């Protein structure tokens, strides 16, 4: 059963040894993560599924990381202190792949060192869950409808698994909110962020699936397809979206959203 679900950003700046003097600029995001940490701990998950935009990708297939054990560090961002390890729920990944065979390809990868799109959420959400198992999923270049369908198939396997499962979609909103944004500036970036936040909070799932593809391409979000998979998983559940924070101090939209399960 699904016991916890959230959409979260993955800025390495919120890792204490990386952000340091910049942590204050994302204090609302950090507080929101701390709220989620309490929620996920209370839900007592056996396994956490993380859908990451920075997991290994294949153009025409989804990916599931099947390395037996995972390691997390942030050395590429100058943090030589933070190190974490997790065990993979390998059986769950293989079972999802089998269910997908009639619909679209799923590639099995084996990356022991996890990407920061996975690492940042796990850093905050597993503070009191050191023994929880992890499944890491990467999205593809397939259509929005197929991402949503992939989520529905994952939900089917969750229902079959007989485990307590937490689902975390990692992703940022627009990368073009300011003139000095890393990806440049788009005058439509704020329009996108506010529109998708409103659609999430009003549970307009079909509208999120069918967002204008030109708008998405223009503002460069990395979280849209992660969100679609999450919504496919959550579609049939009774849940209430709860916006915990939204910040964009570095020109990238960081949304923390709890999908509170009733």
Q: What is the CATH number of the domain that holds 103?
A: 3.40.830.10
User: pLDDT value at position 245?
Assistant: 98
Query: Domain limits at 77?
Result: 2-261
Side-chain-side CA neighbours of 262 within 13 Å: the count stands at 7
Count Cβ atoms within 10 A of the Cβ of residue 65 and give its class: 0-12 exposed, 13-18 middle, 19 or more buried. buried
pTM for the model stands at 0.97
Give me 41's structure tokens. 């701990």
Report the DSSP pairing between strands 69-74 and 79-88: antiparallel
What percentage of the chain reaches a pLDDT higher than 70?
100
The predicted model gives 6-10 an average pLDDT of 98
Q: What phi and psi values does residue 79 have, to the nearest 5 degrees?
A: -95, 110
Is the model's pLDDT at 182 over the cut of 90?
no
What whole-number distance in Å separates Cα of residue 146 and Cα of residue 140?
A: 9
What is the average pLDDT score of the chain? Answer: 96
What percentage of the chain reaches a pLDDT higher than 90?
95
Is the model's pLDDT at 58 over the cut of 90?
no
What whole-number distance in Å separates Cα of residue 2 and Cα of residue 233?
A: 9
Per-residue pLDDT band for 180 (boundaries 50, 70, 90) equals confident
Nearest CA-CA partner of 9 in 128, 151, 173, 126 = 173
The predicted model gives 35-47 an average pLDDT of 98
Query: Structurally, how many domains does the chain consist of?
Result: 1
User: pLDDT value at position 57?
Assistant: 83
């Amino acid at each position: 059963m699904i016991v916890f679900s959230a959409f979260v950003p993955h800025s390495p700046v919120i890792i204490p040894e990386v952000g340091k003097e910049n942590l204050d600029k994302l204090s609302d995001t950090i507080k929101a993560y701390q709220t989620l940490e309490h929620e996920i701990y209370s839900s007592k998950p056996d396994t956490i599924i993380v859908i990451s935009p920075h997991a290994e990708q294949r153009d025409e297939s989804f990916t599931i990381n099947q390395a037996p054990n995972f390691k997390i560090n942030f050395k590429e961002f100058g943090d030589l202190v933070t190190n974490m390890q997790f065990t993979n729920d390998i059986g769950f990944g293989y079972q999802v792949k089998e269910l997908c065979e009639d619909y679209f390809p799923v590639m099995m990868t084996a990356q022991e060192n996890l990407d920061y799109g996975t690492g940042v959420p796990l850093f905050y959400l597993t503070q009191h869950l050191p023994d929880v198992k992890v499944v890491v999923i990467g999205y593809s270049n397939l259509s929005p409808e197929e991402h949503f369908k992939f989520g529905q198939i994952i939900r089917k396997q969750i229902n079959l698994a007989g485990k307590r499962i937490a689902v975390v979609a990692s992703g940022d909103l627009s990368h073009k909110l300011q003139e000095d944004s890393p990806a440049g500036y788009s005058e439509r970036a704020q329009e996108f962020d506010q529109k998708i936040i409103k659609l999430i909070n009003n549970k307009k799932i079909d509208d999120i699936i069918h967002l204008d593809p030109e708008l998405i391409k223009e503002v460069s979000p990395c979280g849209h397809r992660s969100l679609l998979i999450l919504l496919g998983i959550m579609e049939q559940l009774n849940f209430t979206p709860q916006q915990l924070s939204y910040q964009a101090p570095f020109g990238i939209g960081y949304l923390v959203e709890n999908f509170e399960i009733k």
